[in-house]
Chain A
Amino acid sequence: MAMTRIERRYAWLGLALIGPTVLVFCAVIVFPLVAAIYLSLFRIYTPTLEGAWVGLGNYAELLARGEFWQALRTTLIWTAGTLTLQMLFGIAMALVLHQSLWFRSLARSLVLFPYFVSTVVAVLVWRWLFNDLYGILNHVIMVAGVSDMPLDWLGTMPNAMVSVILVGAWKYFPFVVIAVLARLQTIPEALYEAARIDGAGPVARFFDITLPQLRDVLVVVVMLRAIWDFKEFDLIFLLTGGGPVTATQTLPLVVYKEAFSMNQMGMAAAHAVAMMAVMLVFMIVYIRRTRGGQGA
């Protein structure tokens, strides 16, 4: 297909517009990325970044370690669990907040609050709520007669994983709410009116109009959130530190441990690159499938 002159001119304009972004990417992302891959081929002492070439040795060791595979499994459980809750609760809450509700602005602000709070603060508030001696949650549980002992929210399994997933869902579902809410407001009211005239109930209207209209936003939101959750470090690190034992030790925590506690930057970089490879595979599959759906 030959381009017309004007199309070619536009193409240059397009490149000029994306140019700054690409430059910034090269400087702040591609360079560290290349550096990370490069570092993963050495055995490196973190504080000096000096070390010896080991080729793919780090990767061989990593794949042979049970720790990597266990951390991968933990990461997948955490991601799947928290992402599902975020999506379900996020969409539901967005629908609720889209309706006319008393003091709607206040309700919206309150619902979005968890996302505003820095992870550090959120974790501290939750640890304070979970506290075995002075925590209000345990007090409520004991007063309500659910249990006569304080619950150990973070120190045993499966409690720790459930707690982490719940706090993660609480912290990040407002992201979904914001994105969905913004999109909901662009759906022409006429579509709903037409459906109403056709006699469609609220449920039918949701599945026939709302959901298809939301699809594009959801596709993006799921992907962004999935990547974000997969990479989540602060929340888990500060909440459980990966414990009990290694039950909530996700891959980013292993990377941190290797890089800074063990001072093995090469090994840390290898974990990070492996992690990226895993995400890449998931992403390609995901994009293929959602693309296919779009074409149909």
Chain B
Amino acid sequence: MSERNRIGGDRRRGLTRRGALAGIAAGGALLAAPATLRAQGRARLRWWSPQASPEQLAAYRFQIERFMAANPGVEVVFEKTSDEGYQPQMAAAFASGEVPNIVTHLPSFAVSDYWSNGLLEPFNEVIEAIGPEKFFPGANDIYEIDRGVYAGTGIGNSAANMLWVRRDLMEKAGIDRIPRTWDELRDACRRMQGGGVYGAPLPYAKNSMTTLTIIGFIHLAGGSVFSPDLEVALDSEATRNALEFYASMRELCPPGATNYSWGESLTAFVSGATATGIYTGRVLINVNKQNPAIADHVTCATYPTISADVAPWTFNDFPSVMIPRQAGDMDATKAFAAFLFDPEGYIRQLHAAPGHVLPVLKTINDDPRYRDNDIIRKYPAEVELMAAAAAAGHNLGWETKAHRPNVKAGAIVGSGVLADMVQRVVLNGENVDRVVGETARAIEAIMKS
């Protein structure tokens, strides 16, 4: 409770400053024109999401039409935000008060960042309306930043670091089972590499995929970036092991992996340029669409760990739903947020990206209507595995069940210090101890800021 008060206090103090800035704005805008005219008596809800493939858009349209039919007087418009550039867009929206009513599919750490600055509406009512018992157990823990209050909820789960392999290549190389440990993985990649095919598409770039992947590898080595009470714990043997393994994989990755992000990494596996892949279930859709020749040979497993003693750790960026506090028509907004989880529309949404966005509702996961989809029928074991792995997944904002949510996770990912760490060690060959030490200090500085 005291935590909430502190935030509230900050907000009040901020208001005076904000007044000052608004003053400049008014002064500069001598041509003061009337503010946007809102259509009276008709609620207009703006829905933002960075995920909008044509199939997803069709599903969203279906949900919107259904909602508008059931709620005359409410209009919902969907607006696509940029994938990499959502931060300036959200910043501009919050700063100006011209906020969307509902924002979906941003990673959970964006939610906790905005929440901790008092920008979001509590989500409890919406979760109540959906039915808390329908969720996978613990699905909303990551959003419970302040006790008893939820900052948002998940719209889907994703298992972002699945190991994708091709059985045909494994067979050809005489590998009889999917690698479970790093040594097995490296050995398998080495044996499958050749003839224009590389072992793996791991990213060594200055971008968020590299950051998120190395966080995963630190966990796969049995370590973590933070201790459960959020002290920086990066400077550890696990981190060194992760970096060492990551460096040893460099020669098994395509030369351009120094610039790979999600898109390139995915395409490398799908096009057959690499023998293994690291991605979500999106692989299944793309393989069937773009390279059907290998579609029957593709399967996945949780990513190998340093040894059989260390349990797998699935990276889930927890695509979220949140409602900005400044949004108008709050009742309609909350009703719409809950409506997004209405089985018929929600299943359509999931089917627009089968295997990629996995259900957060246990009830939906078990629903035969959800199972009734070409991809899910064709790869039932894979989808089931990913659903289970993602539901038990974590990310930097919530590294293990024991960890407190970390509201600075977004800033740490955004700062790129962890990707820099990979590049310095792997590409520049700098001294590991020094780099890890400096990175840990950089993260500490961000935690304090």
Contact B207 A51 (CB under 8 A): no
Query: Is A208 at the interface (CB under 8 A from chain B)?
Result: no
Interface size class, chain B = 35 or more
Is A240 touching B206 in the complex (CB atoms < 8 A)?
A: yes
Which of these, B31, B94, B271, contacts A47 with CB under 8 Å? B94
CB-CB under 8 A from B354, the residues of chain A are: none
**Cβ–Cβ contact B258 & A48, under 8 A:** no
Please, what's the 1-or-0 string for A213-253, where 1 marks a CB less than 8 Å from any CB in chain B? 00000000000000000000000000011111110000000
**In the complex, are the beta carbons of A243 and B205 less than 8 A apart?**
yes
Distance in Å: Cβ of A62 to nearest Cβ of chain B: 13
Knowing A47-B94, A50-B17 are in contact, say whether A38-B24 is a contact too (CB < 8 A): yes
Whether B258 and A260, one on each chain, are in contact in the complex, defined by CB atoms closer than 8 angstroms, is: no
What mask results when residues 46 to 74 of chain A are scored 1 for a CB within 8 Å of chain B, else 0? 11111110000000000000000000000
Partner of B415 from the list A151, A241, A243, A261 (CB cut-off 8 Å) is A261
**In the complex, which of the residues B88, B91, B258, B414 contacts A152, with contact meaning CB atoms closer than 8 Å?**
B258
Given the complex, which residues of B lie within 8 Å of A261, measured CB to CB?
A: 87, 411, 414-416
Does any Cβ of A come within 8 Å of B446's Cβ? yes
Would you call A257 and B416 a contact (CB within 8 A)?
yes
Please pick, from B24, B29, B428, the residue contacting A245 in the complex, using a CB distance under 8 A. Answer: B428
Pick the contact of B206 from A149, A244, A263 — CB < 8 Å?
A244
A132 touches B415 (CB 8 A): no
B1-18 residues at the A interface, CB under 8 angstroms:
10-11, 13-15, 17-18
Nearest A residue (CB) for B430: A245
Q: Chain B 409-420 against A: per-residue CB contact (8 Å), 1 yes, 0 no?
A: 001001110011
A155 on interface, CB distance cutoff 8 Å: yes
Flag if B117 contacts A47 (CB, 8 Å).
yes
Q: From residue A296, how far is it (CB to closest CB) to chain B in Å?
A: 43
> How far is A114 from B204 in the complex, measured between Cα atoms in Å?
30
A84 within 8 A of B: no
**Interchain CB contact under 8 A, B256 and A49:** no
A27-B29, A49-B95 are known contacts. Are A262 and B420 too (CB-CB below 8 A)?
Answer: no
Chain B residue nearest to A127 (CB atoms) is B259
Choose from B28, B117, B204, B411 the contact partner of A48 (Cβ within 8 Å): B117
Asked if B259 contacts A48 (CB within 8 A), the reply is no
Give Cα A264 to B414, complex, Å.
11
- B192-219 toward A: CB 8 Å interface, digit per residue (1/0)? 0000000000001111000000000000
Nearest chain B CB to A147 CB, angstrom units: 10
Q: In the docked arrangement, what's the CA distance between A95 and B414, Å?
A: 46
Does A175 sit within 8 A of B, measured CB to CB?
Answer: no
| CB-nearest residue of chain A to B258 | A155
Give the shortest distance, in Å, between A146 (CB) and chain B (any CB).
Answer: 14
B306 CB-CB contact with A under 8 Å: no
CB pair A263–B411 under 8 Å, yes or no, is yes
Question: How long is the Cα–Cα vector from A26 to B27 in the complex, in angstroms?
Answer: 11
* B204: contacting residue among A130, A133, A155, CB under 8 A: A155
Instruction: Give the CA-CA distance A150 to B254 in the complex, in Å.
Output: 9
A133-B446 Cα distance, complex, nearest whole Å: 37
Docked Cα-Cα span, A61 to B119, in Å, equals 28
B21 is an interface residue with CB less than 8 A from chain A: yes
- Interchain CB contact under 8 A, A152 and B256: yes
Report whether A132 and B256 are in contact in the complex, using a CB–CB cutoff of 8 Å.
yes
Q: Classify the interface of chain B: helix, strand, loop or mixed.
A: helix
Q: Determine the chain A residues whose CB is within 8 A of the CB of B18 once the complex forms.
A: 48-50
Could you tell me if A245 and B95 are in contact, using CB atoms closer than 8 angstroms? Answer: no
Whether A133 and B114, one on each chain, are in contact in the complex, defined by CB atoms closer than 8 angstroms, is no
Known contacts A51-B17, A149-B255, A243-B423; A133/B271 CB under 8 A: yes
What are the residues of chain A within 8 A of B28 when measuring CB–CB?
26-27, 31-32, 35
Chain A residues whose C-beta falls within 8 Å of the C-beta of B15 in the assembled complex: 50
Q: Which residues of B contact A156 (CB under 8 A)?
A: 258, 427
CA of A45 to CA of B13 in the docked complex: distance in angstroms? Answer: 13
Question: Hey, which chain B residues are within 8 Å of A244, CB to CB?
Answer: 205-206, 258, 423, 427-428
Tell me whether B235 is interfacial, beta carbon within 8 Å.
no
Closest CB in chain A relative to B250 CB, distance in Å: 11
A48 contacts across to B, CB distance below 8 A: 14, 18, 94-95, 117-119
Q: Verify B95–A47 contact, CB threshold 8 A.
A: yes
Residues on A with C-beta less than 8 A from B259 are 127, 152, 154-155, 240, 243
Within 8 Å by CB of B205, from A50, A131, A150, A155, lies: A155
> Is B273 on the interface with A (CB-CB < 8 A)?
yes
Shortest B105–chain A CB gap in Å is 18
B91 touches A263 (CB 8 A): yes
The answer for the CA separation of A45 and B31 in the assembled complex, in Å, is 28
A60 to B4, CA, bound (A): 32
Q: Is B117 a contact partner of A260 (Cβ separation < 8 A)? A: no
Residues of A within 8 A of B94 (CB): 47-48
Of residues 127 through 170 on chain A, the ones whose CB sits less than 8 Å from some CB of chain B are 127, 130-134, 149-156
Asked whether, in the complex, the Cβ of A260 is within 8 Å of the Cβ of B24, the reply is no
Q: How far is the CA of A240 from the CA of B117 in the complex (A)?
A: 32
Nearest-CB distance from A133 to chain B (Å)? 5
- 16 additional A-B residue pairs with CB within 8 Å, beyond A47-B117, A152-B259, A262-B446: A31-B24, A42-B17, A47-B90, A47-B114, A127-B259, A152-B256, A154-B258, A155-B256, A240-B206, A244-B205, A245-B423, A245-B428, A246-B420, A261-B87, A261-B414, A261-B416
A–B pairs, 22, beta carbons within 8 Å: A26-B28, A27-B28, A27-B30, A27-B31, A42-B17, A45-B117, A46-B95, A47-B90, A47-B95, A47-B119, A48-B119, A50-B15, A149-B255, A152-B255, A154-B258, A155-B205, A155-B257, A243-B423, A244-B428, A245-B420, A262-B415, A263-B414
In the A-B complex, the 7 residue pairs with the closest CB atoms: A155-B258, A132-B256, A243-B206, A261-B414, A50-B14, A31-B28, A47-B94
